[in-house]
Structure 1
């Protein structure tokens, strides 16, 4: 009978933000607008980096990688979030849930590593400007990019494999809008101690190590900025890194709160609210910060618009 019960759950039901039924439509419109803006903003950055030859440098190659990552990172969770705002019953198969878990944490780990790499790139550019072309050549930049993706997708592989062997015998309601680790563990009738310990260890190692490397880079940058004799030089250099540091603060602040902790009590309401920041808000904030605070990207965007206007006027004259 026990074995039979353990095979009864073949799908899960997302609860989403069902605790606020009167706000469902408002939440749907809000999340949809942010999601579409995020897709458009990140796609635009990728297009500009690819089309403008002046942006074919390590800094903007990493930025293009980050924008490409953000598109898939938010797409891994937001569609189900939107569905939970419109429908009372939104389901996902057990295998689909595990797949979502893997891709969400793979992309999240990739972002952590990529942010650390971007901080290291800025450290070399500001603290070692004469050796920067040698230390961060195009070949090395591409290796860092590939390594970030490879490391991110390897990190959660073993915990995902162990989760696939768990038994789920009810209840089948996930008190979340995506297949996060804690909600999955709560639904399992197997012993989850090993997979929980391994999962939290992996997430803590990836998050904390990349965070410490990132902050170490920015620490050296701050020291270098302070030593600059010219106030104008200090202002320009700090402005270049301020946008990066803003992204780092928002992203790491939320994921450290969510995942760098022992597998103890978990408040699902707070967890869902915090998840909105790194699943929905951060992928939109990244392109906004990098474009609004970056003169090179704004210049390339103006060139793109001017070229489009020229081609449009030319086609209208020919017509």
Structure 2
């Protein structure tokens, strides 16, 4: 079996437990290099995670002849910049979500990799998590009949960073116009296209209600899937308490779950109610990374590619605009 050597650009918090170790635990993958501009922090990361090479310059990592594939885990405003360099170097790539700061940037990235026939993945890892593949199986097995509508409410109170007006790139409109919507709602909307198919129309409203930062903090949206299923969502980041509720309505029942919280998933099918608690793995991207390996070995197609993530970016753009 071929072995793939990976390098990470941007070894910040998301790579500590969620993603970085997954590349080390996947058979056939080696994590051989990491990059971060802060020399002390990248050296510390490399030593703690037993990574043999570390860089403070992304170009050196990308052009390292030992590296076959690059995982870009920087803030989204630099994704396009680094991804185009990886494509030019002729290497496999996985990009953290959201794929980029705009739909147009996603199109540019996707085009660069398609022109070189290079695999491109995006870390919408919920498409690979067992709790959501279980829901996908219910839908495929017609457990709730013909699906009519999906709705999602995600509310969160302002956190201490917001209230203190401390700088946070996630709420800087120059990096993420939609604020937490860009960071969090992208996961759910991408998941919904995985479960119910692509979206043909989408629109919405976005405003800043609290004035705590420059990005939007309240968004509502509506959409229609290609199949005719309707959808609606409300995302507010200044409410009293956290809520994360999704319901899928069919003509024979409904499915309920949370996008982020590890609550049991539930199904009401023909009057019979069942719930299942399916824990997420310690390294939440492990199934996503293992699916990358299966894709590269031509064993199965990965559910989250540059093309699927570009579609999600289009939906996000339509709702925000």
TM-score range, shorter chain: under 0.3
Give the structure with the higher percent strand: 2
Identify which of structures 1 and 2 has the higher relative contact order when contacts are C-alpha pairs closer than 8 Å and 6+ apart.
1
Give the structure with the higher percent helix: 1
Give TM-score scaled by structure 2 length. Answer: 0.22
Higher CA-based Rg: 1
